[in-house]
Amino acid sequence: MKPLFSRNIDNRGRFVRGIGALVLLVGAGFGLTVSVWLGLGLLAAGLFVGFEALRGWCVMRACGIKTRL
């Protein structure tokens, strides 16, 4: 059994997730002006995707779903 949060994506996948996290965090800033719940949801998603990028780990791949990146 692999250790929890072991790397399962390469640098290309990490880069794409990092860009996605940045987009979500910027969207959270704009979303907070519309709705607090929208902003908090986007913030939580952006932080999680940022964690995936920094760690090199993908939750979908950890669950056995094959992704392109």
pLDDT of residue 69: 72
- In a domain? residue 46: yes
Domain residue limits at 49: 11-56
Give the number of domains in the chain: 1
Other CB atoms within a 10 A radius of the CB of residue 41 amount to 15
Q: Check if the beta carbon of residue 53 is closer than 8 Å to that of residue 14.
A: yes
Whole-number pLDDT of residue 38:
97
The whole-number pLDDT of residue 1 equals: 62
pTM of structure: 0.89
* Per-residue pLDDT in tens (0 to 9) along the chain, 69 residues: 678 888 999 999 999 999 999 999 999 999 999 999 999 999 999 999 999 999 999 999 988 898 887
Would you mind telling me the total number of residues written for the chain in this entry? Answer: 69
CA distances from 7 to 10, 43, 45, 56, 67 (A): 8, 24, 20, 5, 14
Classify residue 6: in a domain, yes or no.
no
